[in-house]
Homo-oligomer: A and B are copies of this chain.
Amino acid sequence: MSGACKERIFVLFNPVPKISDQKRAERRQQILNAAWTCFQREGLHATTMDDIIRQAGLSAGAVYSYFKNKDELILAAVTTSLSGLSAQVVPLFAREKPPRPEDLVREILQAVESFTARDGFDLKRIALLGWGEAQRNEKLRGLMRGSYQMFRGQIAASVQAWQRDGVVDAAAKADDVAKTLLALIFGYVVEAAVMGDMKPDYIASGLRGISTSRAAG
């Protein structure tokens, strides 16, 4: 046995070929991108693992080394888009004083738009699919509720600030207003996905229209 050969064998048994953490993260993201592309095109369950594998340009084994099974990939695809969106929205609530309701909503929707518009597809559709999936997937539902609960809380805080400033009726229940604004945001996502003719400005404009005048008939 020659020295050169020994070296080689050493290489064989040494865990050197380990991919760097960064490389791993990139690969994972590559798979998630492929999954998003396929999911938004075909839906969560009508997409096959093979669709995703081919879209990612990897081998089956490779994909399965990043995600244990399809359910986990679905979960990751939905929650990642959820958390990514949260990350975009959170800073909007960090300001000392929130802008007027219609402006806050517009900013949130713009954040949604800027985060969801991927090259070639639209993450809003993933949200839509995710909501449907949450009906049957307890884990996802739990994650989702937690995330939205937090979001609602932040909106409610803004509402209270508005109430202090007289922008919103002090007698209103802040929680109801928060639920209403969250519905507006969710509804925007649906309407944009289904009808296709939506822009954040329309909602801002509509919201201003409703809340401006106030004489009873």
Contact = CB atoms under 8 A, between A and B. Distances in A.
Interface of A: 1-2, 4-5, 8-9, 11-12, 40-46, 97, 100-101, 125, 128-129, 131-136, 141, 144-145, 148-149, 159, 165-173, 175-191, 193-196, 198, 202-203, 205-217
Interface centre among A8, A167, A180, A184 (most CB of B within 10 A): A180
Contacts of A212: 168-169, 171-172, 214
B135 A128 contact: yes
Contacts of A41: 135-136
Integer count of this chain's copies in the complex: 4
A31 to B, nearest CB: 18
Given A186-B186, A187-B187, A206-B180, A169 B43 contact: no
Contacts of A193: 131, 134-135
Contact of A210 (B45, B145, B180): B180
A57 to B, nearest CB: 14
A176 to B, nearest CB: 4
Contact of A183 (B11, B170, B178, B188): B188
